[in-house]
Structure formats: structure tokens, C-alpha cells
Amino acid sequence: MADRPPTQLRLLLVEDSEDDALLLRRLLHRGGYTLSTFERVDTPEAMRAALADQTWDIVITDYSMPRFDGMTALAIFKESGQDIPFFVVSGIIGEDVAVAAMKAGAHDYIMKGNLNRLLPAIQRELEEHRVRHARREAEDQLRKLSLAVEQSPNAIFITNLQGEIEYINPRFTETTGYTKAETLGRTPRLLQSGLTPPATYESLRQQLEAGHEWRGELLNRRKSGETYWSSITIAPIKNAAGVTTHYVAIEEDITERKLAEEALRDSEARFRQLVEHAADALFVVDPHGRVVNVNQQTCTSLGYTREELMGMAIADIDVEFRPQPDFETWFERNLDQTGTISGRHQRKDGTTFPVEVRMGYFDMGGRKYILALARDMTERELMQAELERYAGQLANLVDERTRQLSRTMEQLQAILNNSSDAIALARPNGDIIAANPAFERLFDFRVQTAIEQILDVIPEPQHLEKASHALFDVLEHGRGARVEVSLVRSDSRSIDVDIALTPVKTQTGALDGIVLSLRDITHLKEIDRFKTRFVANAAHDLANPIANLKLQIYALRASPARLEYHLTALEAQTRRLENLVNDLRMLSQLDRGAVQFHMESLDLGALIEEVVVTHAAQAESKQQTVHLNVADHLPLILGDRSKLERVIANLFANAVNYTPIGGAIDVDVDRDEDQVRLTVSDTGIGIEAADQPRIFERFYRSDGAKLSGVEGTGLGLSIVKEIVDTHNGRVTVESTPGQGSTFSVYLPCAQAR
């Protein structure tokens, strides 16, 4: 009632008698009350509706009515939760009933024969209601103030007149790092960094001693030693007599703001550029609703030029924006407010699209303007429609998940079916219950019913014994086992396999099945065998020159007079040994990728001429004829000069060594499409057809080469192939025994690369 004259009254009357209601209204009128709102009800439903629809100052109810009674009305009133005076008026109420009504929550009861008590009772209860309301508001205000201090985003502390801190809020600890235990009883000097000018503190002291508030900025130090800027307000707290009893300080950490202000100055140009190229449309609107500035995105989204948009009414752009009663009034009413609204913008071609507009106000030249950012929400509408569509599909997800699980099982089956490993699943007793196609192809029904049948296809006794022990371990003890054996395939071919027997156990540890897996490791065994042969051949080729060296040393000691002869023999054996070591070192480096290839543009014809001329003396010593044919205008190749010299020298030297006295050697260089081809042909002993596929293997020498008497390591051609392969080329051989051999090297042209 604080917002209306005291004589006005809003009355809800629960009464079935119109006459009694009229009598009550006259009584209130004579008592100086004007009923600004009045309603009479006589049913529970009508009373509930009235309490819900209107605000009342008092409720008066008759105790006894044909369809209603005062105690029920009191119960309905208490359900509504309203805190206003409630009076019971009756002509027949007894004292015990009246006491019960008061205990139930009625503020007073009045006998109809003594209605003169009603007016002072109303005045009394209204005054008590006002006092209760004011007290609650004061308590609420105090609670809010206390919460505001505790939850304040600013650090707050209170000191006594001696400067000793008596209170800090949680934000103080967050800002400074000092806990309440570390702060209470100490002075704010614990925050001083020594970097704030003394004049600032002197100004602070003078203002506070004069009883005034002080505002300023201090460079303080946290507990961690880190400095920070604070904007601080310190004000005296005075008692009712106006005497200062304490000081309250409100401190805001403005370190980031200080940095931001500096950064803001540096980034204004970048910001303007960002706004101009922002993905959202930007409008600046004057107080009359006219566009005064836009960014490029606005022009793009609406299809207007910037000049066409200048001065256009915002209502002509947003077809759903209709400010009431007019834009100027709406502008003043919403001044300095920010918010987001939804709208629909209209393009120049008449089409529309949904937007979300964020609006704010700013000052420019002493005048207020609206800054609006409009985001095209077409995608969100489409997403909303898509979400609704998805919602309709939720019922199908369970079925889809079931299908996915089924597909997963099918995929697992496909993996097993397409695995190159032979896999079978057996029961704990060894009976096979499932096998993949690779298993069936490997054994062709020879191992069909039980995993023990695998023993039938292992021919070697030693391997058979290993496999038997492994089967016993898994079948009898449930222990996994792995062995490598040789077995005979269904096509009668012998292969090396790695057999893995893996027990499948239940959660209790009981054997539930056995997985038998066989992997063909024949190629790995071949590699091991090749390594063994490699070591044997290397040892053999090293042993021969070493034995010869020993023999020559013995002969030298026996006949020192033939020193020159023995030294010449020793040098020959040393060169052979050195060549072997160099070849081995080269192959090792090629295998490890440690050989550096220095690629450059080369004229292969010129390079071949140099190498042939250098080694021509070998052919001349055997009276061999050398023909060198280099085609004109050959393209350049990209290669390593020294490595290619070695390739040419090796092929030329082999042609000389394996061609008899008086034979012929042809060296040709020409172009073959996008490659340059080097061909070295001789009229030598030739190579058997069976030896040609292995001629480039390491340490391999054909029987003809061994019988020729020409010494060699069997590594030269393998090095040739490694070098040519590294140049992305290829080397081939064609040979007829007794007629000669032709080696061809193909290297890509530089432009082809």
C-alpha cells in the first residue's frame, strides 16, 4: 500500500449474502476507506481464481455459508501463500471456533454483532503488515548486500582506524594470493610494491583524514611477487553520529585492462579492417532509424551498394522490425540497452532470410547511435529442420545398431575368409568346428576333423616331435605354444610354417576352445638361407687370397732372390682382396642406404668414351677389337658420375675378361624413347640360359665363369644392378653360350624425370 493513498483498499470478500456485503462496504466507507478493488465470492473455485488474478490488501470471510465455510476459505488463502490480513466475521461463531481460526492463521475474528471492532482491527493489521513487509525488505536488502560483497568481482577489504585489516572477501585472496589468516591484523602495506609514487599515498592519506573518499590507481604486488595494477576506491565508514569508525577499500585488478588499452590503440586499424571484412553484416543506425554506415558483408548479403543503403530506413531492411509507436520513441525507450533480437532481412531482389541481430548503443560526436550486427541464420534454420528430421529417426537407431553389429560380424568373417594365414577353431578336445578358406586350401580336407591331423602332413621326424609336444601342451594343460616346422601342402609342395596354438578360456580359466593359426614363413627361411650362403661365399672368397698370400710369403722366405716376382704376386693377391673388401663394403652401404649419390646432369656418351679410353689397354693386351658407337644429340641424364663410371668399367672389364684373345667388343650408346641405352656386347664364352636369371645375385658365378680361369668375387654385377636401380633404371642380359653376351643399361633422360 506504500504506492497508493492510505484510505484506498483492495478487498476480497468471501460472503454469500449481498445484504451483508453491502453493510460491510458502508461500514468501511464510514471508516474512511475507499474500495479501489472489490470482489465478492461465495465458492472455493471463485476464491482461488480471485486470489490468482488480483492483488489484495485484506481478505474478509463469513464463517458460515451454504456452500462454503470460513475454515475452508482460510485453508485456500494459506495455499495461495499471500501475506495479507485475513479476518473471519460471523454471527454464530463460538469462542472455541474463533480460537481455532486464529491458530489456523486468521489475523482476527469479528462478531457481526460487534462490527465496530472491524475498523481498528483492519488499521492495526495493515500497519503490522506494513512493518513486516518493511522488515523483510530490509532483511532481503542486507542479505543481498552481504552476498554482493562476498561474491563481488572486486577485491574488498575493511580496516579499522589504525589501518589493521579486519575483513577481506574471497576475491581479495584470488587477486593477491593472501589468505584471510595471512591478512587479518596486518595493514595494506603488505601489498605495496615500492613502484607507486609516494605522492599517491600522500594524496590518499590527506583525503581520508579529511573524511573524503579517495580514488586512484596503485601498482601493487601479489604474494607470488608478481606486480599488478589496481583501480582502488577507499571510503570512510561512519556511524549514525557521522564519526568515521572504519575504512572500506574496493580494489579492481586492471592489469589486463591496462594491457588491453595499449593493445587497443595498436589494433584500431586492424579492428577496422576486421569489421570491414567481418562475416556478419554490420549496421550503424541513427536515432531516426536511418542507416548511416555499413560494412561490405551488409552489401553482399542484401545485394545493395553502399551508396544505396545510406539513408535507408532500417524498417525497409528488416521486414519484421516494427517499433512502436515509432522509431524515435522506441530508440529513446531502449537507450543504452543491449540485446539480441530475431528478424528477417529483405534483399534487393525481394527475397528474405532469417537473421539474429545483436544491438548496442554508442556515442559518436555527442550523439547516440545503434550498432547492429546481423548474422544470417539460414543455416541454423536448416539445421533445426535437420534436427527435427533426426528426431523422427531415433526409433530406427536400435535397428540400425543391430544391423551394424551384424555387419561387424560379417566383416570379421570377411577378414578371416580373406586372411592369408590358415586359421581354425577347435573344441577343447581338438575337434575342428570352423576353418577359414586359407586353411582349407592349405590342407585340401587332409586336416578336416581334428587338429591332431596336422601331424600327418609333417614329414620330418624332428619337426613332427616339436609339433606333437605343442599339441600336447595345449590339449592337456591349456598352455599356448608356437613352433616352426616344414609341412607338405595339398599340391605336394613343401613349405615352412609358423604354427601358433592359442587356448581360449572362460572367465573362470577353463579351456573353452583352441585357435590354430599357420603362417607361411617360407620366404623368411629363404632369406635366412641366403644369409647363410652369403656368409659362406664371403668366407670362401676371402680364404682364397689369404691362402695365396701365405703361400707367396712362404715362397719369398724360401727363395728371397726372386723378390720382385713374389712382390708382384703379393700385390696381385692384395688387389684381389682389396677389391673383394671394397665390393662388400659397397653392398653393405647400399643395403643400409648409406651411399651418397651426388646427382648431376651428365652426357652419358662422353662419360662412356672416357671410361673406355681409360680401360682400353686391357683389350689391347688381348689383341681385342673395341668398337665405340655414340649416337648424336643424346639427351642428358641425371646421375652420379663416379657410380656410373663403376657400372661402365665393370661391364667393359667383364667383356674383356671373358672374351678370348682376338675377340671383339662393341660399346653402343643411343636413345630408346625417353631413356638413354648403353649396350656392351662381346664375342666371349657366353652364359648358359639356366644361369642368366641369377647372374645379378651376390656371389653368384656361373660354371662357365669359374672354369674360364678368370678370378672374380661374384659381386660386380650385383653392384651394377644396385647402382642402376638407384638411378631408376634397369639392366638386362642376353647371351648365347660360345657366341658371347650383351648387357644393356637403360637410364631415364633428365627431362623425363
What is the per-residue pLDDT across 485-542, written as a single tens digit (0 to 9) for each? 888 877 778 888 888 888 888 888 888 888 888 888 877 777 666 665 565 555 555 5
**Which class for 450: exposed (0-12), middle (13-18), buried (19 or more C-beta within 10 A)?**
middle
CA distance 241 to 250: 24
The DSSP string of 663-702 is -EEEEEEEEETTEEEEEEEE-SS---TTTGGGTTSTT---
The total number of residues written for the chain in this structure: 753
Helices (H), 518-624: 522-558, 563-592, 604-621
pLDDT band at 468 (very low <50, low <70, confident <90, very high): confident
What is the per-residue pLDDT across 54-102, written as a single tens digit (0 to 9) for each? 999 999 998 888 888 888 999 999 998 888 899 998 877 677 777 888 8
Cα–Cα–Cα angle for 701, 704, 708, rounded to 5 degrees: 100
What is the per-residue pLDDT across 447-457, written as a single tens digit (0 to 9) for each? 667 777 778 88
CB atoms within 10 A of CB 7: 12
Tell whether the model's pLDDT for residue 223 goes beyond 90.
yes
Cβ atoms of 696 and 731 closer than 8 Å = yes
Beta strands in 383-510 (DSSP E): 422-426, 432-435, 481-488, 494-505
On the CB side of 433, how many CA atoms lie within 13 Å of its CA? 10
CA distance 566 to 550: 11
Cell numbers for 143: 542479505
State mean pLDDT over 203-222: 91
Q: How far is CA 230 from CA 47, 180, 212, 218, in A?
A: 59, 19, 20, 5
Place of cell 541513427: 286
Parallel/antiparallel/unpaired status of strands 422-426 and 432-435 = antiparallel
Query: What percentage of residues in the chain have a pLDDT greater than 70?
Result: 87
Looking at residue 636, the DSSP 8-state letter turns out to be P
Cα–Cα–Cα angle for 513, 517, 522, rounded to 5 degrees: 165
CA distance 408 to 506: 23
Residue 4: the pLDDT is 44
Residue 307: the pLDDT is 92
What phi and psi values does residue 279 have, to the nearest 5 degrees?
-75, -20
Q: Which amino acid type is present at position 389?
A: R
State mean pLDDT over 271-280: 77
User: Over the range 565-578, which residues count as b (16 or more CB within 10 Å of their CB) and which as e?
Assistant: ebeebbeebeebbe
Q: How large is the C-alpha radius of gyration of the chain?
A: 53
CA distance 552 to 408: 75
On the CB side of 663, how many CA atoms lie within 13 Å of its CA? 22
CA distance 672 to 604: 13
Q: Mapping DSSP to helix (H, G, I), strand (E, B) and coil, where does residue 434 land?
A: strand
264 vs 649, more confident: 649
The DSSP string of 64-98 is B-SS-BHHHHHHHHHHHT--S-EEEEESS--HHHH
What is the per-residue pLDDT across 240-259, written as a single tens digit (0 to 9) for each? 888 999 999 999 999 888 88
Place of cell 454483532: 113
CB atoms within 10 A of CB 445: 9
Cell numbers for 685: 664364352
Q: Which amino acid type is present at position 250?
A: I
CA distance 753 to 750: 5
Cell numbers for 425: 577353431
Q: How far is CA 154 from CA 173, 176, 186, 323, in A?
A: 11, 11, 20, 39
Mean pLDDT, the chain, integer: 83
228 Rama class: left (phi>0) / alpha (psi -120 to 50) / beta: beta
Residue 1: the pLDDT is 40
CA distance 270 to 716: 68
Beta-bridge partners for 157? 168, 249
Beta strands in 330-385 (DSSP E): 339-346, 352-364, 367-376
Residue 2: the pLDDT is 41
CA distance 661 to 618: 11
Residue 275: the pLDDT is 74
State mean pLDDT over 267-275: 72
What is the per-residue pLDDT across 110-150, written as a single tens digit (0 to 9) for each? 887 788 888 898 888 888 888 888 888 877 887 887 787 78
Alpha carbon 319 to its chain's center: 42
Cβ atoms of 180 and 198 closer than 8 Å = no
Q: Mapping DSSP to helix (H, G, I), strand (E, B) and coil, where does residue 463 land?
A: helix
Whose CA is closest to 244, among 278, 213, 282, 287?
A: 213
**Which class for 428: exposed (0-12), middle (13-18), buried (19 or more C-beta within 10 A)?**
middle
Cβ atoms of 3 and 10 closer than 8 Å = no
Whose CA is closest to 13, among 75, 66, 77?
A: 77
pLDDT band at 3 (very low <50, low <70, confident <90, very high): very low
On the CB side of 114, how many CA atoms lie within 13 Å of its CA? 10
CA distance 665 to 652: 8
Residue 752: the pLDDT is 56
What phi and psi values does residue 243 have, to the nearest 5 degrees?
-95, 130
What is the per-residue pLDDT across 569-613, written as a single tens digit (0 to 9) for each? 666 556 656 665 666 666 666 666 667 788 899 998 888 888 888
Residue 650: the pLDDT is 86
Residue 177: the pLDDT is 93
